[in-house]
Structure 1
Amino acid sequence: MKINNKYFGEIEYEAEEKLSFPDGLFGFEEHKEFLPIPFEEGTDTLICLQSLADQDLSFILLNPFAFFVDYDPQISKEDQTAIGSPKEEDISYYVIGVIRDRVADSTVNLKAPIAVNSKTRNARQIILEDPAYTFRHALGETKGREE
């Protein structure tokens, strides 16, 4: 299968690569299937999440653990059930970013991450109860993991 993407042009993909969002994303509930496209091969630090229904709709996702060492999302039982009741180690988390020309002006949504069941490829955007996480957290305030 193929899809056009504004960053990468025409992309070929296999059906098993797509992510299924039964509830869609907040504000985009009608979009149920997306293709994650890494900006750099072999890493999930920065991903383009491309809608398979609308080639003009895509989001920039970041792996929050690469930027916020203390990030600790706690998924509810209801959200776990919605993505297929995976073991905690089978859940990957991503946050939607708004990337500006200056990285310090960019923000990420730590309050509503995307939880992905890596076994079934089912995903859901969730809202965390922790008041420390915001919808527009400055990326310039990152604390990356020490290598």
Structure 2
Amino acid sequence: MTVTETDSELPVIELVHPMPGFPDLHKFALVQLDDAGRLSSLTSLEQPDLRFLVAPPAPFFPDYEPEVDDEVASELGIVEVEDVLLLVVLNAGRSLAETTANLAAPVLVNTVTRRAAQVILDRPGLPVAAPLIA
């Protein structure tokens, strides 16, 4: 579901709930930033200078398997787990070693409907700033 910047049509993601702090922004383009598909951005279509760096967690946190409740799955129209793209929001540091990921609030994207939400997980102890490199 990610694309390269040379593709003419970027996948438009609609957030069913806006990201915290950005109540009026609902439409984002998912843009792949590297050839390996490990880094993408969610770029606002309503405020193009705003983007969130995101990445699939598996390459960095292989044991990370968040659980979401049925209400979230229903809101996003998720029927099959295979239709979910799981992303974590990154806080970019000066280097990869200083970059962190928010594991407490991943972004779930339904790859069929392209509806998405940042979900605040009900699991105490999940870090909001987990180092990408141990």
TM-score scaled by structure 1?
0.81
C-alpha contact (below 8 Å) 1:86/1:117 kept by paired residues: no
Match status 1:105 vs 2:98: yes
Question: How many Å separate the matches in 1 of 2:70 and 2:44?
Answer: 27
Larger radius of gyration: 1
User: Percent sequence identity over matched residues?
Assistant: 29
Q: Which has the larger helix fraction? A: 1
**DSSP-derived class of the 1:140 partner:** coil
In structure 2, list runs of 5 or more residues that go unmatched.
none
In structure 1, list runs of 5 or more residues that go unmatched.
1-7, 142-147
C-alpha contact (below 8 Å) 2:78/2:84 kept by paired residues: no
Question: How many Å separate the matches in 2 of 1:19 and 1:86?
Answer: 18
Question: How many Å separate the matches in 1 of 2:117 and 2:88?
Answer: 12
TM-score scaled by structure 2?
0.88
How many aligned positions are there?
Answer: 130
Aligned-partner residue type, residue 38 of structure 1: Q
Match status 1:68 vs 2:61: yes
C-alpha contact (below 8 Å) 2:87/2:106 kept by paired residues: yes
CA RMSD of aligned residues (A): 1.8
Residues 88-108 of structure 1 show CA distances to partners (whole Å, capped at 9, x for unaligned) of: 111111011011122222111
Aligned-partner residue type, residue 46 of structure 1: L
Question: How many Å separate the matches in 1 of 2:51 and 2:120?
Answer: 20
